[in-house]
Structure 1
Amino acid sequence: MSLPTLEKHPLNTATAPIEIGHVVLTVRDLAGVGDYYRDVVGLEPIAEDGETRRFGAAGRTLVELRRDGAARIAPRGEAGLFHTAFLLPSRADLGRWLSRIADRQIPVQGASDHLVSEAVYLTDPEGNGIEVYADRDRDRADWPRGPQGIAMATEPMDVQGVLAAGRGGWKGLPAATVVGHVHLKVGDLGQTEEFFGTTMGLELTTRYPGANFWGWGGYHHHLATNIWQTRGAGTRQHGLTGLAEVVLLAEAPEAARLGARPLVDPWGTVFSVAPKA
Structure 2
Amino acid sequence: MTSIHENTTIGYVKLTIRSLERSLQFYCNVIGFQVLNQTDRQAELTADGKRPLLILEENPSAVVLPERTVTGLYHFAILLPNRKELGIALARLIENGIALGQGDHAVSEALYLSDPDGNGIEMYADRPRSIWQRDREGNYVMTTTAVDIEGLLEETGEERKTTLPNGTVIGHIHLHVSDLKEAKAFYTDVLGFDIVGDYAGMSALFISAGGYHHHIGLNIWAGRNAPPKPANASGLDYYTVVLPHQEELKRVSDRVKNAGYSLEETENHFLVKDPVSGAHIKFVI
Q: With structure 2 as the length reference, what TM-score do the two structures score?
A: 0.86
Aligned partner (choices 271, 274, 280) of residue 262 of structure 1: 271
1:87 corresponds to? 79
**Secondary structure, in 3 states, of the residue corresponding to 2:45?**
strand
Cα distance in 2, alignment partners of residues 258 and 168 from structure 1? 47
Q: Is the 8 A contact 1:122 1:130 kept in 2?
A: yes
Q: Is the 8 A contact 1:95 1:167 kept in 2?
A: no
Deviation at 1:93, TM superposition (A): 0.8
* 1:191 CA drift (Å): 0.8
Matching residue's letter, 1:222: H
1:168 to partner: Cα distance: 4.7
The one-letter code sitting in structure 1 at the alignment partner of 2:218 is T
Could you tell me which runs of 5 or more consecutive residues in structure 2 were left unpaired when the two chains were aligned.
254-264
Amino acid at match of 1:87: L
Aligned positions, number: 260
Letter of the 1:244 partner, please give it: D
CA deviation string 1:57-84 (max 9, x = no partner): 1122111011122222234311000001
Pick from 144, 148, 164 the counterpart of residue 173 of structure 1.
164
**Who is 2:284 aligned against?**
274
Could you say which residue in structure 2 is the equivalent of 1:213?
A: 206
CA distance in 2, matches of 1:86, 1:223: 13
Decide whether the 8 Å contact of 2:15 with 2:56 is kept in 1.
Answer: yes
Deviations 1:102-145 (A, max 9, x none): 2333222x111001000001100000000000000242xx3121
Corresponding residue to 1:146 among 132, 135, 160 = 135
Task: Give the corresponding residue for 1:232.
Answer: 225
Partner of residue 122, structure 1? 113
Alignment correspondent of 1:107: 99
Cα 1:138–1:166 change in 2 (3 A) is farther
Could you list the per-position Cα deviations for residues 175-231 of structure 1 after superposition, in whole angstroms to 9, with x for gaps in the alignment?
100000000011111111111102221111002211100101111111101111232
Task: Report the aligned-residue RMSD.
Answer: 1.8
What is the aligned partner in structure 2 of residue 155 from structure 1? 145
User: Does the CA-based 8 Å contact 1:210-1:226 persist in structure 2?
Assistant: yes
Shift of 1:16: 4.0
Whole-Å Cα distance in 2 between the matches of residues 242 and 104 of structure 1? 23
State yes or no: 1:97 paired with 2:89: yes
Distance 1:28 1:155 in 2: 34
Change (3 A) 1:16 1:173: farther
Superposed CA deviations along residues 17-59 of structure 1, whole A, max 9, x for unmatched, are: 2111100001111111122111111111111100101111112
For 2:274, the aligned partner's letter is: D
Determine helix, strand or coil for the equivalent of 2:56: strand
Asked if structure 1 preserves the Cα contact closer than 8 Å seen for 2:30 and 2:92, the reply is no
Q: Alignment partner of 2:154: what SS?
A: helix
Runs of 4+ in 1 over 6 A off after TM superposition: none
For 1:237 and 1:170, the matched residues in 2 are separated by: 40
Paired with 1:19 and 1:182, the residues of 2 have a C-alpha distance of: 11
* Further displaced range: 251-260 or 72-81: 251-260
Distance, in Å, in 1 between the alignment partners of 2:184 and 2:96 is: 42
User: Does the 8 Å CA contact 1:17/1:251 hold for their aligned counterparts?
Assistant: yes
Q: Percent identity?
A: 36
Distance, in Å, in 1 between the alignment partners of 2:220 and 2:71 is: 9
> TM-score, normalization: structure 1?
0.89
